[in-house]
Amino acid sequence: MNLNQEIARRRTFAIISHPDAGKTTLTEKLLLYGGAILLAGSVKARRAERSATSDWMKIEQERGISVTSTVLQFEYEGFRVNLLDTPGHQDFGEDTYRTLMAADAAIMLLDGGKGVEPVTEKLYAVCKMRQIPVFTFINKMDRPALEPLQLHDEIRAKLGLENTPFNWPIGNGPAFCGVVNRFSKEVTLFERQEAGSKEALARSASLDDPAVESRIGIEGIQKIREELQMLETMTLPLDLELVMSGQLSPVFFGSAVTNFGVEELLRAFLSMAPPPGPRQSDQGPIDPSSPFFSGFVFKTQANMDPRHRDRIAFIRVCSGKFEGGMETLNARSQKTVRLSNPKEFFGRERGTISEGYAGDVLGIMNQGQLQIGDSLSAGKVVRFPGIPRFSPEHFCILRCAPSARKAFNKGLDELLQEGAVQGLRDPAASGNDMILGAVGPLQFEVMQYRLKNEYRSDTSMDSMPYKIARWVSGSSEDLAALKGASTVRLVEDMNGHTVGLFRDIWSMESVVKNNPKLVFSPIAPTG
């Protein structure tokens, strides 16, 4: 296969959802189709196994949440699928946000009984910012669910996202009979299996098929026909151009746990979702099929396996072909980085890969030379825009004993580079105390735990009352005027940008209103 064919068959995406909507379950079922795992349950089993290889993962195990994200790769009907697995718990939002910077599309998973939930809203905001296509899967239709039109309206109202059904559910909960494809009008019947079996039987037939009639009756068929008619007037046609630009989301209904509707989702997603496209850079858009290798680091992870005390940088390939051992230039540091022993990840397991193409993700051993947002290229120097930092929602002050300052600084420096927690300093305050900000407070615990276990640094922590951070830019006079405001605390991020901390939305809004010449952004300037 040549370079263009390899790139054309790649699909790189992430699943966004609120915790408990069924992301692990859906991931597992998708992997089953790719033959990547033989038994459903393996992803969860791996989640449990992790604790054997990493001490600090104990926190994850105790809380029953997934802390780190990995990349899952599989083949399906000629496609090479890269599923960027994102931490599901709301405490790990920023890591998830960053992973979305490496995805070309997203599957937005909603619990049919709950609709659009808060974490989904936050993650969708990043997809919207990036204008990537979003495909919606409404899960748990085997349980009582909201009316499909209500879900349709909620997606529009809460996310501002136009959406249109690809298939349409026939009932829900105990009365769930299956889905009807809006375009082919083919019905896929949902048949519960006997107790003990989780998988549902799925049988496809036309609306006129006697099997459909015997399952849902003549009245049921009439109702479906009316509903399909109604959809034509009440919802938009499936305009692929709008889907590609992220303005229209095709909606699928199903039940991941019973594996119902998952293959239809996968097939339709792969046929509609885009292959890797051009990426903006300081050299203009870089076409994925450009002959030279380029990529950027979207995540780094220290000490994934404490036996090796290594650090891994995850690189999204943007153009050309990657070959093991190749030399690249880091545009930030201007240093040569040899990409030796690149790793391919499946959960916690690692295999070595010898080649990769635009859309793929490589894990490279990193001794600190690579940072989030770094651009790497071979043959031509390219800089991709940096990875933005997103507003933390929890803040604390971290202190250490003066005697342990050296280990503390080293640990802090390395862990902050991973980006799960942001470091902030108050230039007006004395001492070396560090203000930490995170999207979820559990990250502070993880930080403290890792400082102690990996860097032998005991710390104490006091939470702070702030809830919102905004990066503030404007003239030095306007910024100076802001310093007097009592409702904002001004600090600096690690790049020296001014950040305003607020206790609540109202104090933020009043400060924004009273300082019209300043720009307040929920996303950090890159660089």
Which stretches of the chain bind ligand G4P, using CB under 6 A?
Answer: 17, 19-25, 88, 139-140, 142-143, 255-257
Nearer to ligand G4P, 148 or 437 (CB): 148
Shortest Å, Cβ 342 to ligand G4P: 28
* φ, ψ of residue 31 in degrees (nearest 5): -65, -35
Per the CB < 8 A criterion, the answer to whether 121 and 158 are in contact is yes
Residue 472 in 3-state DSSP?
Answer: strand
Q: Identify which of residues 19 and 388 has a Cβ nearer to ligand G4P in the complex.
A: 19
Measured from the CB atom, the residue of 17 and 68 that comes closer to ligand G4P is: 17
- Residue 338 CB, shortest distance to ligand G4P, in Å, is 37
Mutual angle of helices 23-33 and 262-272, in 10-degree steps = 70
Classify each residue of 352-379 as buried b or exposed e, where b means 16 or more C-beta atoms within 10 Å of its C-beta.
Answer: ebeebbbbbbbbbebeeebbbbbbbbbe
Shortest distance (Å) from residue 390 CB to ligand G4P: 21
What minimum distance in Å lies between the beta carbon of 34 and ligand G4P? 17
- Closer to ligand G4P at the Cβ: 143 or 158? 143
- d(CA 55, CA 166) in angstroms, rounded, equals 44
Structure tokens at 439: 């999207």
Which residues are registered as beta bridge partners of 170?
178
Q: What residues contact 246, with CB distance under 8 A and at least 6 apart? A: 127, 128, 130, 131, 132, 133, 134
Query: From the CB of 345, what's the least distance to ligand G4P, in Å?
Result: 18
- Residue 92 DSSP class: G
Q: Give CA–CA dist 20/444, Å, rounded.
A: 23
Question: What is the maximum alpha-carbon separation in the chain?
Answer: 80
Q: How far apart are alpha carbons 522 and 500 in whole angstroms?
A: 10
In contact, 130 and 280? CB cutoff 8 Å: no
Which of 143, 348 has the CB closer to ligand G4P?
143
Report strand pairing: 421-425 vs 459-464: unpaired
To ligand G4P, the closest distance from the beta carbon of 467 in angstroms equals 25
- Closest approach of Cβ 248 to ligand G4P, in Å? 25
Phi, psi (rounded to 5 degrees) for 314: -95, 125
In the 3-class helix/strand/coil scheme, how is 197-233 assigned residue by residue?
A: CCCCEEEEEECCCHHHHHHHHHHHHHHHHHHHHHHHH
Q: Which is nearer to ligand G4P, 111 or 344 (CB)?
A: 111
Query: 127, 126, 96, 78: which is closest to 275 by C-alpha?
Result: 78
DSSP structural state of residue 115: B
* Tokens representing residue 473 in the block: 């830019």
How far does the chain reach from its first CA to its final CA, in angstroms?
38
Q: How far is the CB of 154 from ligand G4P (least distance, A)?
A: 19
Question: Shortest distance, CB of residue 20 to ligand G4P, whole angstroms?
Answer: 4
Q: Which residue, 119 or 302, is less far from ligand G4P as judged by CB?
A: 119
Nearer to ligand G4P, 289 or 443 (CB): 443
Closer CB to ligand G4P, residue 24 or residue 281? 24
Give the shortest CB-177-to-ligand G4P separation in angstroms. Answer: 15
Minimum CB distance to ligand G4P smaller for 31 or for 468 = 31
From the CB of 198, what's the least distance to ligand G4P, in Å?
8
Nearer to ligand G4P among residue 80 and residue 89 (C-beta): 89
What tokens appear for 269 in the block?
A: 């997603």
DSSP 112-163: TTTBS-HHHHHHHHHHHHHT--EEEEEE-TTS----HHHHHHHHHHHH--EE
